[in-house]
């Protein structure tokens, strides 16, 4: 029995070492500075050491070699973790144009003043005119909140945005995004390894929604959230608090734990603490179904009806030709949206 337990413990240790070896190799690949040849060399040495320990735990090496490999791996792993702890987020980098400015919010009674609201004129994904604006919103005129999902990687993964509407047709959209540097492109794997900082973007719908539906060709869906004015106001203010906190203290984006969907859930949970955790917070393509199951979408419709009627792409593309108001056009026929929001 003792021998069996010792063998199982050895296998467990070997499995942990294997996981740490894979994690360390990926961390080095995404974060180690210097020439790629040096990076590859360090990764090869680290991986060889990890595999040696795994083989030794499987009994394929002698006791002396096993002890030496184990000691060397502990030293290397401790050094790796110490280096990992030195990686800190920063606002001081050469940022891509669309994430160059941090949102700044100032609350003055019922009025909210936002600096650095993005309103780029996108002609294509790479052809655009930058424009950052200052805007003021009256919280007493806040009337609605809409959930927007943009599918960029199949049916399971979507980018999550929340759009707030005010009397008179004013709208502003909030979106947590990676803050890319100019030389960077998005990597879901890199998002696990502190490759990107995060940024909370406030933007005009013609910027942040239209570029996804029209310029990128992503499938975009819009749903009216069932929230009273007090709840919508509370959620709006939570977004502003999150933006100001992020402005004061930079944070890393994490593909799993700190992404565009988890922030919406976390902020909503401040208002409704009983909201349960769910796998659909990770498989964000199903987040609207989660909200539907929590009775957060327009009642009286099946989910597939809300999804079909909320698909905005055809209306979004048509608005480019007709030059109709974009926000009104994409809401045509969406359940729960009153006539005065879709008619001039």
Minimal CA–CA distance to 27: which of 70, 82, 72, 90?
A: 82
Q: Which residues of 145-154 are buried (b: 16+ CB within 10 A; e: fewer)?
A: bbbbbbbeee
Minimal CA–CA distance to 95: which of 184, 200, 194, 211?
A: 184
Q: Which residues pair with 112 in a beta bridge?
A: 107, 137
Rounded to whole angstroms, how far apart are CA atoms 85 and 20? 15
Residue 184 in 3-state DSSP?
Answer: coil
- Please, are residues 90 and 181 in contact by the beta-carbon 8 Å criterion? no
Minimal CA–CA distance to 306: which of 316, 317, 287, 292?
A: 292
pLDDT in tens, 24-59: 999 999 999 889 899 999 999 999 998 888 887 766
Q: What are the domain boundaries of the chain?
A: 2-85, 97-341
Q: Decide: pTM greater than 0.85.
A: yes
Q: Which residues pair with 117 in a beta bridge?
A: 133
Which ranges of the chain have pLDDT less than 70? 1-10, 58-64, 344
pLDDT in tens, 163-221: 999 998 999 999 999 999 998 888 888 888 999 999 999 999 999 999 999 999 999 99
Across the chain, mean pLDDT equals: 91
- Please, are residues 310 and 221 in contact by the beta-carbon 8 Å criterion? yes
């Amino acid at each position: 029995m003792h021998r069996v337990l010792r063998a199982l413990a050895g296998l467990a240790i070997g499995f942990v070492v294997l996981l740490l070896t894979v994690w360390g190799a990926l961390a080095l690949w995404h974060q180690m500075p210097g020439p790629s040849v040096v990076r590859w060399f360090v990764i090869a040495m680290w991986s060889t050491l990890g595999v040696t320990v795994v083989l030794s735990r499987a009994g394929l090496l002698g006791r002396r070699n096993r002890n030496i490999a184990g000691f060397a791996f502990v030293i290397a792993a401790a050094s790796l973790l110490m280096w990992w702890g030195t990686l800190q987020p920063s606002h001081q980098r050469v940022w891509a144009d669309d994430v160059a400015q941090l949102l700044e919010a100032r609350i003055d009674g019922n009025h909210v003043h936002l600096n650095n609201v993005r309103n780029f004129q996108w002609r294509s994904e790479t052809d655009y005119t930058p424009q950052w604006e200052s805007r003021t919103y009256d919280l007493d005129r806040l009337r609605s909140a809409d959930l927007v999902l943009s599918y960029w990687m199949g049916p399971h993964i979507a980018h999550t945005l929340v759009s707030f509407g005010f009397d008179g047709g004013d709208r502003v959209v909030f979106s947590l995004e990676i803050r890319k540097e100019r030389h960077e492109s998005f990597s879901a794997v890199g998002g696990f390894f502190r490759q990107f900082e995060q940024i909370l973007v406030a933007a005009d719908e013609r910027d942040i929604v239209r570029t996804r539906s029209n310029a990128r060709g992503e499938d975009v869906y819009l749903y009216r959230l069932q929230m009273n004015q007090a709840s919508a106001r509370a959620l709006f203010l939570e977004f502003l608090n999150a933006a100001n906190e992020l402005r004061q203290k930079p944070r890393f984006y994490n593909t799993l734990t700190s992404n565009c969907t988890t922030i919406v859930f976390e902020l909503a949970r401040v208002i409704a603490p009983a909201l349960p955790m769910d796998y659909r917070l990770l498989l964000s393509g199903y987040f609207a179904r989660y909200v539907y199951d929590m009775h957060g979408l327009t009642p009286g419709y099946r989910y597939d009806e809300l999804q079909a009627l909320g698909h905005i792409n055809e209306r979004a593309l048509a608005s480019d030709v007709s030059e109709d108001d974009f926000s009104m056009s994409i809401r045509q026929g969406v359940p729960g949206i009153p006539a005065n929001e879709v008619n001039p």
